[in-house]
């Protein structure tokens, strides 16, 4: 018996660079990291290529989906600039 439940398909992710920018982004779980970066870029006004998303020491790669990274609703991601 499978017990996991999807409350909503859309998820909200918070990205914080701890320098004064904190973005709440709504996105689909099947979006790639690249898409997420585009959204963030649109909201913050930085170039998407400059954004690095991290959780601890894991640098998220562009071509992988949020679902695959097991990024769920309400999670916090670290944002850096390169």
Size of the site for other proteins (CB under 8 A): 27
Q: Which of residues 27-46 bind other proteins (CB under 8 A)?
A: 27-28, 31, 35, 38-39, 42-44
- Helix (H/G/I), strand (E/B), else coil: 77: strand
Position 14 contacts other proteins (CB under 8 A): yes
> Is-contact 37 27, C-beta < 8 A?
no
Q: Name the minimum Å distance from CB 57 to other proteins.
A: 24
Instruction: Specify the DSSP element, H or E, that contains 11.
Output: strand 11-16
Give CA–CA dist 22/8, Å, rounded: 23
Give CA–CA dist 50/70, Å, rounded: 23
Q: Give whichever of 44 and 52 is closer to other proteins, judged by the CB atom.
A: 44
* Residues of this chain that bind other proteins (CB under 8 A): 1-6, 8-10, 14, 16, 20-28, 31, 35, 38-39, 42-44
């Amino acid at each position: 018996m499978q017990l996991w439940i999807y409350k909503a398909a859309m998820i909200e992710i918070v990205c914080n660079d701890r320098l004064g920018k904190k973005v709440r982004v709504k996105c689909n779980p099947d979006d790639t990291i690249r898409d997420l970066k585009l959204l963030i870029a649109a909201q913050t006004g930085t170039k998407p290529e400059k954004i690095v998303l991290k959780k601890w020491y894991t640098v998220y790669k562009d071509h992988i989906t949020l679902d695959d990274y097991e990024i769920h609703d309400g999670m916090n991601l670290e944002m850096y600039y390169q």
